[in-house]
A and B are shown apart, each in its own frame.
Chain A
């Protein structure tokens, strides 16, 4: 029972963060701030959501698989973000304005 409540709270928070991150990725002004918002969904949203499901599934193979998924996402998400930011920053050398003005970048 208590587990149910906790898991529902986790799921609700997860849903909230996933949504807020998505909103941020859409609304924020430039690439780097959007990246910040996107990583919110990737980290907090994922942990909370998958955590909520894990509590629901109890100790089973499903939980192990969920933990594996979580592990992979935790490994890959930040790496991908880093690599992306790095590429965007490097691209400043040749063509694109990598650190765009506050109004947004250029295509």
Chain B
């Protein structure tokens, strides 16, 4: 069953990557990156469990946190761009 879930996650990662590649807007790509990040968290959680090392769930936690900060950094980036764009 774990394998099925892992496969599903991998397929979804591929789909998210496709979305990130085709866009079309930058927001689609950010969405895809965010989705990709959460899928990585799930993947790591499952693999940690599969390989019998649940102590590695720390990694999944770290990924979840970093992913969130990454998305906020992107938003701040948009905001800054808009700000600078308007001034000039």
Interface class of chain A by DSSP: helix
The number of chain A residues with a CB under 8 A from chain B is 56
The number of chain B residues with a CB under 8 A from chain A is 50
Nearest-CB distance from B40 to chain A (Å)? 12
**Cα-based distance from A22 to B14 in the complex (angstroms):** 9
Interface class of chain B by DSSP: helix
A74-98 to B contact mask, C-beta < 8 Å, 1/0? 0011011101101110110110100
19 A-B interface contacts by CB (under 8 A): A15-B4, A22-B15, A22-B35, A26-B16, A38-B34, A38-B35, A41-B38, A61-B55, A62-B54, A65-B57, A72-B61, A72-B68, A76-B68, A83-B75, A94-B85, A105-B23, A105-B24, A106-B25, A107-B25
Residues of B at under 8 Å CB distance from A?
Answer: 1-2, 4-5, 7-9, 11-13, 15-16, 18-19, 23-28, 30-32, 34-35, 38-39, 41-42, 45-46, 49, 54-55, 57-58, 60-61, 64-65, 67-68, 71-72, 75, 78-79, 82, 85-86
